[in-house]
């Protein structure tokens, strides 16, 4: 009886997916690592350019303290695809989290526009987005976990 119930449930799920037009399974997303996975976050210095994948953390070292930066996600990407001519270049929204040496967390929501500089601040640090990849194409969509952001962090108290 239990096997019959399981078979019935599987059949219903398969038929529902077919009826709703689901023909393939989406690529599984990467699990979100914590700063303590694989021995802790990667360490970078203030003033150093570095890239982050979605879910990745880095530890930013300064003279007398450390801070952390986490690339949470890209919440919107309406940039004009590279293989299309658009009237407007569009933009993308990047969500980052910064944690200062006292444990205070700050959410950074940065809008990335082609040819324009974008930055946000937490603690005494300025986070500047240099590049967001991959760049959209009209024929493919970008899975949320495939984004990579390149940033530089500067100390605002020089």
DSSP 73-139: EEEEE-PPPTTS--SS--EEEEEEEEE-TT--EEEEEEEEETT--EEEEETTEEEEEEEEESPPBTT
User: What is the pLDDT, as a whole number, of residue 158?
Assistant: 58
In the prediction, which pLDDT does 116 show? 85
Neighbours of 67 (CB within 10 A): 23
**Whether the predicted pLDDT of 96 surpasses 80:** yes
pTM for the predicted model, two decimal places = 0.72
pLDDT value of residue 8: 40
- Sketch out the chain's domains with CATH numbers: 28-155 (2.60.98)
Q: Taking residues 20-33, what's their average pLDDT?
A: 39
């Amino acid at each position: 009886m239990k096997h019959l119930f399981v078979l019935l449930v599987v059949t219903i799920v398969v038929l529902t997916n077919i009826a709703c037009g689901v023909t393939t399974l989406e690529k599984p997303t990467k699990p979100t690592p914590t700063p303590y996975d694989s021995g802790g976050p990667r360490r970078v210095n203030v003033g150093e350019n570095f890239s982050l994948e979605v879910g990745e953390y880095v530890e930013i070292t300064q003279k007398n303290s450390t801070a952390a930066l986490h690339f949470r996600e890209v919440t919107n990407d309406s940039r004009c695809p590279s293989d299309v001519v658009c009237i407007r270049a569009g933009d993308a929204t990047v969500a980052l989290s910064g944690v200062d040496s006292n444990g205070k967390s700050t959410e950074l929501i940065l809008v990335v526009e082609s040819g324009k500089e974008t930055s946000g601040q937490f603690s005494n640090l300025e986070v500047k987005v240099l590049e967001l990849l991959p760049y959209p194409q009209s024929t493919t969509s970008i899975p949320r976990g495939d984004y990579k952001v390149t940033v530089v962090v500067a100390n605002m108290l020089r």
